[in-house]
Amino acid sequence: MPREVAKRRDIAIARIAGRQHGVITTGQLLNAGVISSGISDRVAAGRLHRIHRGVYAVGHPNISNEGRWMAAVLAVGEGAVLSHRSAAALWRVLPPAEVTEVTISGSAGRKRRPGIRLHRSRTLSPADSTHQAGIPVTKPARTLADLRRVLPAEPFAAALRQAEYLRLPLGESVAPDHTRSELESRFLALVRRHRLPRPDVNVRVDRFVVDFLWRPKRLIVELDGWRSHGTPSAFETDRARDTRLKLLGYEVLRFTWRHVDDDGAAVVRTVRELLGR
């Protein structure tokens, strides 16, 4: 191969990798004029380093977090965006995690890859995505909405405070949830994670303020923390309250810390079944 041709290919590869935090795909290498055997030769010579199938680091394997995130998005393919904790790290809301999280639209199958946690979303649209440091990523509002479904209440609250401090555009999708306790926040996170219809939170029904209300279905969920509900008088008061609400035509469910933390799937099944009636 003429030296001038090889030099032009090296320059093209360097330019592409320079725009992508030091990584490049097989397709981009082929477009730059490197044949398949040439890719293998470059790997053997230590000029390319495989990060994922079809994605290489150029020159050395010690890429930055941005390079790792870009490599994951490129490996998943067209339409993929950095999301969840990884997007939050790119937006400087959370520290970087070892596994890179990527979301694609729809439920179409794509191969899982080591080091990548793949999310499939039926609601992700182009309006939810942007580019930050050249990396396709969910916008801050979508990132925080995704985090709310996967993080416990306290870490999520810390991430939200950091996003607000950085003045990231959050919109209304991450507005306060109006919960009054850690147990209520955990239950609401469970509802979001399993995509149940969103209930009204801490609203008045008759003379009571109930924890969660699905108004069209007249379904109420009350959460029994030991501190506020673990006395004989509280037990009696709760039962009188439930009786009154049932007379008004409401179905009342009660869950404890153990139900929410240790048996969340059963809680979700129960609520979903009653909402489906």
pLDDT values of the chain reduced to their tens digit, one per residue, 277 residues: 577 777 888 899 999 999 999 999 999 999 999 999 999 999 999 999 999 999 999 999 999 999 999 999 999 999 999 999 999 999 999 999 999 999 998 766 567 788 999 999 988 999 999 999 999 999 999 999 899 888 887 788 788 888 888 889 887 556 556 667 778 888 888 888 888 998 998 888 998 889 999 999 999 999 986 554 445 655 677 888 999 999 999 999 999 989 988 899 999 999 999 999 8
C-alpha 182/C-alpha 186 separation (Å) is 6
CA atoms within 13 A on the CB side of 92: 7
